[in-house]
Structure 1
Amino acid sequence: MKAFGWNMLLALFWVILSGSYSISNLVAGMLLSYLVLAFVARDKPMFASYFGKLPQIFSFILFFIWDLIKANARVAYDVLTPTHLMRPGVIAIPLDLKDDAGITLYANLITVTPGSLALDVSSDRKVLYVHMMYLDDESRQLAELKALEARVLNLLR
């Protein structure tokens, strides 16, 4: 059984033994079982990559929240001011992601960010087309989207 499976199994045992069937208790069980597994299986190679992912996940979440804050502020400013700064356009992003799950996650992260919308993936899955509300500097926008893709790719490895 993989490390995440063990973590979930121990967390479910925690919920059952404590008798409190709530999301907060499940999260507490996940954290507690994570710490127990980190201590017990610290020398086992099958758990090494699992425990290395947690800092990457937190880093990715903080990075994406910061991107959301910036995008929301830009759209809100444009809505609240009388001048419209929009320069809409479609940008083609060459994909380094190969699997469907990674491409779907990447496209959904782009779509939930205000001011951008993933439109389509080419039939050979090498290009993602994205509509941008603010396409001021295409090379800068492409670099930002590729940075997000690199983080998604790093997270899924």
Structure 2
Amino acid sequence: MMRFFPAPWLSLALWLLWLLLNLSLSPGNLLLGALFGFIAPLLTAPLRPLPVRIRNPGVILKLLFHVGCDVVRSNLTVGWRVWNAHRHPPRPAFIKIPLDLHDANGLAALSMICTVVPGTVWSELALDRSVLLMHVFDLDDEAQLIEHFKQRYERPLMEIFQ
């Protein structure tokens, strides 16, 4: 059964989303939505990462709290720096961050964190997953930022996934 429905919840969600977007329960839409919900997970099955094994679920709440605080603080900081750019121009930079995290799911979570926090952009990951190239909107101290990044995001993700 899993061969035909590799992700049954995804199939159901796609079918319901199809019906919601079309605002119709006509037989044609019911059939097309079901077909889409059946075929899309089959075609994307090879793209899915390995199953997630969470080692330390208690760390997730701490990480979410840290990310939430950093998002709010970074929004305010970036907004202030943009507002005052004529007086104190930002110092953008690309920095290379050595990574100890090699789990695919952990790296995916780390990339989402980089995307969510304003002022940082995940630019490139080395093929061997050992170095992350990240763009920073305003860089004061590279060593301090690397240590903050590793302590605040990478180490908790390593506790969760490795």
**Higher relative contact order at CA 8 Å, sep ≥6: structure 1 or structure 2?**
2
Q: 2:154 aligns with which of 101, 126, 149?
A: 149
Where do 4+ consecutive residues of structure 1 move more than 4 Å?
none
Q: How far apart are the structure 1 equivalents of 2:89 and 2:143?
A: 18
Q: Does 1:119 align with 2:123?
A: yes
Contact conserved, 2:114 with 2:120, CA < 8 A, in 1? yes
Aligned-pair CA distance for 1:118: 0.4
Q: How far apart are the structure 1 equivalents of 2:60 and 2:128?
A: 29
What is the DSSP-based 3-state SS (H/G/I as helix, E as strand, rest coil) of the residue aligned with 1:77? helix
Aligned-pair CA distance for 1:155: 2.1
Q: How far apart are the structure 1 equivalents of 2:113 and 2:75?
A: 14
Letter of the structure 1 residue corresponding to residue 93 of structure 2: G
Describe the superposition over 1:42-83 as per-residue Cα deviations: whole angstroms up to 9, x where unpaired: xxxxxxxx8x62x32221111111111111111011122242
Give structure 2 stretches of 5+ with no counterpart: 1-53
Q: Which moved more, 1:79-88 or 1:145-154?
A: 79-88
Match of 2:36 in 1: none
Contact conserved, 2:105 with 2:161, CA < 8 A, in 1? no
Aligned-pair CA distance for 1:135: 1.3
Aligned-pair CA distance for 1:106: 0.7
Aligned-pair CA distance for 1:156: 2.0
Match of 1:79 in 2: 82
What is the DSSP-based 3-state SS (H/G/I as helix, E as strand, rest coil) of the residue aligned with 1:130? strand
Contact conserved, 2:106 with 2:157, CA < 8 A, in 1? yes
Alignment of 1:4-153 (within 5 A): 53=57, 55-81=58-84, 82-147=86-151, 148-153=153-158
Q: What is the number of residues matched between the two proteins?
A: 108
Normalising by structure 1, what TM-score?
0.62
Give structure 1 stretches of 5+ with no counterpart: 1-49
Normalising by structure 2, what TM-score?
0.60
Q: How far apart are the structure 2 equivalents of 1:58 and 1:136?
A: 29
Q: How far apart are the structure 1 equivalents of 2:132 and 2:106?
A: 12
Letter of the structure 1 residue corresponding to residue 72 of structure 2: I
Letter of the structure 1 residue corresponding to residue 60 of structure 2: I
- Fraction of identical pairs, as percent: 29
